[in-house]
Amino acid sequence: MALDPRTPVLVGVAQWVDRTSEPGQGLSPQDMMATVARAAIRDPGGTGVEAAIDAVAVVRLFQDSGFGAPFGKQNNLPHAVARRIGATPRRMLYGPVGGNSPQMLVNMFMEAIAAGAHDVVLLAGCEPIRTQSRAQKAGIALDWAEESPTDAETLGKEARLVSPHEIAHGIALPVNVYPLFENALAAHYGRTPLAHRAAIGALMARFTEVAAKNPYAQLPVARTAEELITPTPDNRYIGYPYTKYLNSNMFVDQAAALLLMSTAAADRLGVPQGARVFLHGSADTHEKILVSERVNYHSSPAIRIGAAHALAEAGITTADIAHMDLYSCFSSAVEIAADEIGIAHDDPRGLTLTGGLPYFGGPGNNYSMHGIAEVAMRCRKAPGSFGFVFANGGYLTKHSFGVWSTTPRPFTRIDPASYQRAIDAMESPPLIERPEGSGSIETFTVIHDAGVPRFAILIGRTTEGQRFLAQVHEAPEALIDVPVIGRPIHVRPTDTINLATLA
């Protein structure tokens, strides 16, 4: 089949991990990304690629997502990477916050290549938090600051993912929010808390087995289901029902890069046909932005609609997927995504190619770049097979999807606004900020400090069906390992938050 020369292709992939450097000896984020960028450029075996790169995009680091930059910041990370590899791109983009960013940037730049706006695009991302935290602990000062002559381009103002009212009630950090989904799922599946914890353990134990065999995993250790779910001094509860081993691990030194080209550029630069992987389908969606606005806490309309669109665009069904990587910051993200896509939790094909964010590693917003790299490598090894990537950002908020194959195919992309409208039109329960009286628990989590239950976060409903947020400060441990969803409570407002007690 004769392809339009503007047809975009993924031609280069690379991953990198550091598990062995001593405190103070790890690479800066700029050098991490330059290292993996060079590897991605070498991957397809073309020539003259550096000089042909006309755009570099970098996935946003945690340091610029509110986590701080103790060793200095950089005003243009794409330029810092380009300078190190000898590229002079005319566009240098620094991505937004969100784990959906790698697949979203792929979707965006594939469309730009098809439209003739770019020919050769390098995407890169990393997290150096292992090196950063170890240096801080050892009292070692590193210098990662770098000033470029111009600032990087951004995609504009981002939507605020949490409200002040949510933050006041503890709905801010992902470790506090994803357990809310998990406990809602237990009730939705009709499981007792203990049975659901066992199911979580069985699911994520399979992830550890994949990580244990992955040469790029930060923690290549296989664990049993019982090890994962049993609270111990080394595996304390964080936000019930999640122990430490069930939380995404951001203390990593990991990087990944992707190289995209037009078919014409790939031909011109000598990229072999066997290195080329085509994007057959894509989608980008988002939920109701605030957690308190969601339709419910056991489903994701945006994942359902986005995945269905990407698969339909590719002309395949879930039965045709040979390789898949579902975003896995917490088990609830995996379970909800699998449910909405139409894949069993114990599908023999496996739901991860990396081993998942708690075990492979959770390199911030860049995790799914590793997922895409893994899919691409498997598609190359099995020409004509299909790979699927689901990437998630925020609190199951923003989603991006990609369907990949080595089979050449003309590029098509539908404006995401055309299917986002259906999600935006869905009704959510009305929120009342100062409830008083009787209600019931819609979902909850118990937040721990050093393994000790400190307070519970509740999302509840009034007897009239209004949704509210509250905390439980008296004996929050009474909510652990017993049926809680739907339980009656009393709630009252205070000057700062709503407080609830069990009825």
The CATH number covering residue 474 comes to 2.40.50.840
Are 115 and 193 found together in one domain? Answer: no
Exposure string for 166-197, b = 16+ CB within 10 A, e = fewer: beebbbbebbbbbbbbbbbbbbbeebebeebb
Is the CB of residue 128 less than 8 Å from the CB of residue 54? no
pTM: 0.97
What does the alpha-carbon distance between residue 253 and residue 20 come to, in Å, rounded to a whole number?
10
Q: Does residue 416 have a cis bond before it (omega within 30 degrees)? A: no
Low-confidence ranges of the chain (pLDDT < 70): 1
Q: Which residues are registered as beta bridge partners of 153?
A: 93
End of a domain among 361, 393, 424? Answer: 424
Q: Which amino acid is at 8?
A: P
In a domain, 429, yes or no: no
End of a domain among 246, 277, 304? Answer: 246
DSSP 28: P
Q: Which residues are registered as beta bridge partners of 418?
A: none
pLDDT in tens, 149-189: 999 999 988 888 999 999 999 999 999 999 999 999 999 99
Are 254 and 242 found together in one domain? Answer: no
Q: Token pair of 503, please?
A: 């009825």
pLDDT of residue 503: 87
Mapped onto helix, strand or coil, the DSSP state of residue 31 is helix
Is the CB of residue 441 less than 8 Å from the CB of residue 487? yes
In a domain, 295, yes or no: yes
Sheet holding 55-58, edge to edge: 8-17, 253-262, 120-128, 55-58, 91-94
Q: Rounded to whole angstroms, what are the CA distances from 164 to 223, 304, 328, 495, 498?
A: 39, 29, 27, 14, 13
Q: Token pair of 216, please?
A: 């790029």
Are 121 and 193 found together in one domain? Answer: no
Are 153 and 224 found together in one domain? Answer: no
In a domain, 431, yes or no: no
What does the alpha-carbon distance between residue 192 and residue 190 come to, in Å, rounded to a whole number?
7
End of a domain among 197, 216, 246? Answer: 246
Are 324 and 445 found together in one domain? Answer: no
In a domain, 298, yes or no: yes
Are 305 and 403 found together in one domain? Answer: yes
Count of Cβ atoms closer than 10 Å to residue 39 Cβ = 18
Angle, helix 301-314 to helix 331-341, in steps of 10 degrees: 50
In a domain, 1, yes or no: no
- Domain encompassing residue 453: 437-502
Are 92 and 212 found together in one domain? Answer: no
Are 242 and 258 found together in one domain? Answer: no
State the sign of the Cα–Cα–Cα–Cα dihedral 345, 346, 350, 356.
Answer: positive
Q: Token pair of 470, please?
A: 């509250």
Are 145 and 12 found together in one domain? Answer: yes
Tokens 């509740």, residue located: 458
In a domain, 300, yes or no: yes
In a domain, 28, yes or no: yes
Pairing of strands 91-94, 55-58: parallel
Are 70 and 187 found together in one domain? Answer: no
pLDDT of residue 111: 98
The CATH number covering residue 62 comes to 3.40.47.10
What does the alpha-carbon distance between residue 143 and residue 287 come to, in Å, rounded to a whole number?
39
The DSSP annotation for 417-483 comes to HHHHHHHHTS--PPB-SS--EEEEEEEEEEEEETTEEEEEEEEEEETTS-EEEEEE-S-GGGGTTS-
Number of domains in the chain: 3
Are 401 and 490 found together in one domain? Answer: no
pLDDT of residue 1: 62
Is the CB of residue 12 less than 8 Å from the CB of residue 40? yes
Are 51 and 29 found together in one domain? Answer: yes
Run of H or E including 132: helix 129-138
In a domain, 432, yes or no: no
What does the alpha-carbon distance between residue 300 and residue 113 come to, in Å, rounded to a whole number?
31
Of the CA atoms within 13 Å of residue 152, those in its CB half-sphere come to 26
Mapped onto helix, strand or coil, the DSSP state of residue 386 is strand
Burial class of 350 by CB neighbour count within 10 A (0 to 12, 13 to 18, 19+)? middle
